[in-house]
Amino acid sequence: MASSFSQSFYVLALFIILVSWSSRVTTSRKLVELEACSRERHEQWMMEHGKDYMDDAEKEKRYQIYRENVEFIESFNANNNETFKLGVNQFADKTFEEFKSSALNGNKKGSLDLLGTEIEKPFKYENVTEIPETMDWRQRGAVTPIKDQNVCGSCWAFATVAITESIHQITTGKLESLSEQELIDCVRGEKTSGCDGGYMEDAFKFILRKKGIASEAKYPYKGVDRTCNSTIEANTTASIKGYQMVPRNNETALLQAVANQPVGVYVEAGHRAFQFYSGGVFTGKCRTKTDHVVAIVGYGSTKEGIKYWIVKNSWGTNWGEKGYMRMKRDIISKKGLCGLAKKPLYPIA
């Protein structure tokens, strides 16, 4: 009796040891496979984005960051029931800090409050009552293709240029790509400093003073701070007559404006969900400490009735919906999602 008991005890113990050993082997094999798979994915991603690293140490460092970001993205998509998804884009080998310091508005936060008094009044569109259900200035030929600011805090120049290109097209019928580099090199506002960040207000004042802005072709983008080339600067392609602010914290007023022309907005974009946004209606949990500038080029609503703004960003076409983001419209907070309604500006032509 006793011997048969100890025999079956041994058999059982052996069985347990075997099972746990074999499962440990499979787990570690799975880990190795996963590792190899994501190293392969990293190589693939490097090719897609034309990435090349200085040496193996740098490559290893970038791989670890890449892997951590991919895990964040996949776990976000798996565990959140949101109206938007994240994806592995060109920022995948950058730490969040690196992303914040290179893709946003340099070190500039907020908008320029002091310039508020110089903005023309009254609000041009205050009496507008005819507001279409949807508006997409891209379909009306008033929006140039998506551009890429690269490693330079020049979003302020891209947003200013985007909405100036649009009003130029709306008033003249000609869609012409205009120069961000001219603004980077030549705008020397008290608070605006090229790749270190800036404000649409300073850019508009410059275009007004100089009576125009050069074309992209004449003054092409370099993505670095250079000295102003006054020869090219003198040869302007588009001009404006002034600029205005949409009444603050009022998405209804913003709608009146966007129904008539694209509008530049300050937003808070320093979030990983913003960094890796790949599509859908963005409802990220951002606050309203604005650190980025983008252009609203339309609006609409989904089949489910979720209202959104169509936002043109300056991070290339690999980010978001081919470079665009749909941001939730008419939210409870008067400041708008990510603060987009805090200080919307637009040029008058």
Ligand X SMILES: *[C@@H]1O[C@H](CO)[C@@H](O)[C@H](O)[C@H]1NC(C)=O
Active site residue 292: yes
Active site residue 313: yes
Compare residues 3 and 81 and give the one whose CB is closer to ligand X.
Answer: 81
Report the half-sphere exposure of 205 (CA within 13 A, side-chain side): 17
44, amino acid identity: Q
State how far the Cα of 324 lies from the Cα of 295, in Å rounded to an integer.
Answer: 10
Minimum Å gap between C-beta 329 and ligand X is 14
Tokens matching residue 291: 């650190």
Tokens matching residue 259: 């129904």
> DSSP readout, 308-347?
EEEEE-SB-SSSTBTTEEEEE-S-SSTT-GGGTTSS-EEE
Residues forming contacts to ligand X in the complex (CB under 6 A) are 81, 122, 124, 126-127, 218, 229, 231-232, 235, 247, 250, 252-253, 256
Compare residues 157 and 186 and give the one whose CB is closer to ligand X.
Answer: 186
Active site residue 155: yes
Minimum Å gap between C-beta 285 and ligand X is 16
Q: Please give the backbone phi and psi of residue 173, each rounded to the nearest 5 degrees, phi first.
A: 85, 0
Residue 289 burial class via C-beta count within 10 angstroms: exposed 0-12, middle 13-18, buried 19 and up = middle
Minimum Å gap between C-beta 126 and ligand X is 5
Compare residues 104 and 254 and give the one whose CB is closer to ligand X.
Answer: 254
Compare residues 82 and 196 and give the one whose CB is closer to ligand X.
Answer: 82
Minimum Å gap between C-beta 203 and ligand X is 20
Q: Give the dihedral of Cα atoms 203, 188, 149, 153; nearest 10 deg.
A: -110
Buried-exposed string 218-234: b where 16+ CB fall within 10 A, e elsewhere: bbebeeeeeebeeebbe
Bridge partners of residue 327, in order along the sequence: 282, 309
Compare residues 3 and 79 and give the one whose CB is closer to ligand X.
Answer: 79
Minimum Å gap between C-beta 222 and ligand X is 11
Among 155, 186, 195, 338, the active-site one is 155
Residues noted as catalytic: 155, 292, 313
